[in-house]
A and B are shown apart, each in its own frame.
Chain A
Amino acid sequence: MTSLSKILFIDLSNRTSYVEYREDLFEKLLGGTGVATRLLLEYCPENADPLGPDNPIIFAVGPLTGLFPLASKTVSMFKSPLTGNLGESHAGGRSAIAIRSAGYGAIVITGSSETPVYIAIHGGDVNFRDASGIWGIVNSVTVGRVVRELEKGSGMRTVMRIGGAGENLVSYACVTSETYRHFGRLGLGAVFGSKKLKALVVSGDESIEVEDKKRYREVYDEIFEKAVESPLMKKYHNIGTASNVMPLNELKAIPIMNLKMASSPDVEGISGERLVEGYLGRRVACAHCPVACVHIAALREPYEREPYFYKTSMISYDYEPVYSLGAMLGIFEIKGFLKLLDAVEAWGMDAMSTGVTLAWATEAYEKRLITDRDTLGLKFRWGDHQTYIKAVELIARARANEFYKALAKGLEHASSCYGGKDFALSFGSNEMPGYHTGPMCYAGYLTGSRHSHLDGAGYSLDQKTLNLENLPEPKEAAKELFKEESWRQILTSLVVCLFARGIYEKDVVSDTLEINGIRLNSEELEKLGSEILSMKYEFKLREGFNPNKLRIPNRILETETPHGKIDEAYLRKTVDDFFQLFPQY
């Protein structure tokens, strides 16, 4: 039987591991984000080098993992090589159930290996396997194929791995699990690479004891019914997250060509509907999710030199890659978009950061801030996917010249070297997501603990306030963002997928926790959420985050949003008011 409070500690420097039970953490902070934040505060020394041996890699699951539907995600935490501060990224696939079934609530990996290694955890059995023979395999899919053949646990395991970008320490390299899911944002792949850790396999089959079995099945069935009947779930099953492409385009809120525009008739060429109709090859679900939002396109291409000879690639896509590697780069043609996405996936880079960085590079090239000498002859041009594919390889290899090395360190860094800050669309050093909905989404990117749209859902607040005569007072907007981000700390501590947030309302969460012997009412949950959020800021402030020095690129003020042009004073005030809500500020 599993105990959620069991934490596996792995030291790569000495190749040792041990287990510790931390009831104190899991009783107070549930799991996931809450527990991982506390572990990060405990195990990441102050001012640790994100790419040094001291930076811990933390994975945490929660009390709902393995018990309830849509509790499919694992939270990873680390110090981010991209922002130099709190790094948090979530992935589904089979990662969560595998970690819980192996008997753990969290895994903490510290130290660094001298030679390439991969870790295989099968229940209580922890193995350090030589990865010299697979180091240098740049395609993350191939790495998965090799490791899969070497390890047991088919159907019950997760295979997390890095591609070439992670090995080469690209600041926004991702960790891929089960081919199509990613710890995408903030550079966990580079942290793996810095430790010479090529892959992490976890499998197990321990059961999770429930005391009130009858009540468990009742609560389960209520949640399951809601999940399969919810319209949001149907939308994400049918067309997937790419169903947001057209509505956002109509709203004039999808960033196009480095946000020179926020709407274009061309966007229809890469709409969710077009993708499904022309290319959908398969849908995939994360383990324990009835939705299956993961959409996989089948791209059939002829071989250049052989007639009647084709290869079919299966490429997963979502709204964010359609935005970042499609619209943002002026690629409005599906085949080109898919080929570029396939290259980014193979190298193992975050699709969002890659697209936004290339969009800046294209505009910088237009404005002659960078020249052919910098680009090594590549002529960046909107819509030219072939050139972008070549650039992706040069970034992922991170050694061709100073320019590509700079791009590999992220947009904030590259624009510090080459200029063009006004149109460098990163916030808190994280490249922006695909929502230009109004001031609240940007307040969210600036204040959110991960600088992500998923933190406080400002994009949703923007859309809810569209019909109001006036924008809410900055103080009110800040409160809303804070409230939403606080509540999301609970959801990601449980850990449930954020798409299930409409199902896991406060009373439902209380019911599910009761099955676990935890009694928390709505008010107590809200309070805990804001405490976890404050704890994240404790880490951020400790590591030098300065809320007064947040950069706002001019471009977002120039291009109209559905709320008209953004008033910088309003945005700044909202951001200031947000930080006033923290007790420590």
Chain B
Amino acid sequence: MFACNRRYGNGGLSKSAIRVRSAGGFERGFVVIACRACADPPCMKVCPTDALSLRKGGGVILDRSKCIGCRLCLDACPVRAVFWDEEANKPNICVHCGYCTDYCPYDILELREVEAR
């Protein structure tokens, strides 16, 4: 989470496109929520301004100039992997750069190329 945000050179978590939360309390363990690069992304389909388009290699790309901050993508994602940057009023969209994996000392996160489905 922190690494993702650091891509922009700042601290904190507001721009992070990955999240770790408990599975209903720390006693139940943790869930990592990240974009799963759907072949036919629901977030893209609901975007009223076509701000989201398919990214070559998987996932979607956000055209910030087109985004009107309507949040429809947020609700469309079934795994809730679209996060909201309140300061910019735009979604945080994973670009599958793998920067976060460099800071995961326990190999939970991994950047791996897979065959298109």
Question: Which residues of A are at the interface with B, using a C-beta cutoff of 8 A?
Answer: 1-2, 66-67, 69, 93, 97, 100-101, 141, 144-145, 148, 154-156, 178-180, 205-210, 213-214, 216-217, 220, 224, 228, 282, 284, 288, 290, 292, 296, 314
Measured CB to CB, the nearest residue on chain B to A315 is B27
Within 8 Å by CB of B87, from A66, A206, A282, A288, lies A206
Q: Give A288 to B16 CA distance when docked, in angstroms.
A: 13
In angstroms, Cα B11 to Cα A205, docked, is 11
**Contact: A207 with B87, CB < 8 Å?**
yes
Question: Which residues on B sit within 8 Å (CB–CB) of A1?
Answer: 87
Cβ-based interface call for B21 (8 A): yes
Interchain Cβ contacts within 8 Å, total number: 83
Q: Is the CB of A101 within 8 A of B12?
A: yes
Are A206 and B9 CB-contacts (below 8 A) given A141-B27, A148-B25, A155-B20? no
Cβ-defined contact, B10 with A206, below 8 A: no
Confirm or deny: B22 has a beta carbon within 8 angstroms of a beta carbon on chain A: yes
Partner-A contacts on B (CB < 8 A): 2, 5-6, 8-15, 19-22, 24-30, 85-87, 103, 105-106
Residue contact A216 to B9, C-beta cutoff 8 Å: yes
Residues from chain B with a CB closer than 8 A to the CB of A209 are 10-11
* A207 with B10, Cβ < 8 A, contacts A179-B25, A224-B103 known: yes
Contacts of A100 in B (CB 8 A): 12
- Chain A residue numbers with a CB within 8 Å of B9 are 210, 213-214, 216-217
* Residue pair B12, A213 in contact (C-beta under 8 Å): no
Residues on A with C-beta less than 8 A from B13 are 66, 97, 101, 156, 205, 207
Interface contact B15-A207, CB-CB below 8 Å: yes
A180 to B10, alpha carbons, bound, how many Å?
A: 29
Across-interface contacts of A93 in B (CB, < 8 A): 26
Report which of A155, A207, A284, A290 forms a contact with B14, defined as CB distance below 8 A: A207
Tell me if A290 and B26 are in contact (CB < 8 A): no
A296 to B28 CA separation, bound complex (whole angstroms): 11
| Shortest distance from the beta carbon of B108 to any chain A beta carbon, whole Å | 11
Look across to chain A and name the residue whose beta carbon is closest to the beta carbon of B28: A314
Find chain A residues with CB under 8 A from B29 CB.
282
In the complex, what's the smallest C-beta–C-beta distance from B102 to chain A, in angstroms? 9
Decide: B21 and A155 in contact? CB cutoff 8 A. Answer: yes
CB < 8 Å: which of B11, B15, B87 contacts A210? Answer: B11
Q: Which residues of B contact A154 (CB under 8 A)?
A: 21-22
Contact check, A284 vs B11: say whether CB atoms are below 8 A apart: no
Other 9 A-B pairs with CB < 8 A, given A66-B11, A178-B26, A210-B9: A179-B26, A180-B27, A207-B14, A208-B11, A213-B9, A217-B9, A288-B2, A290-B105, A296-B27
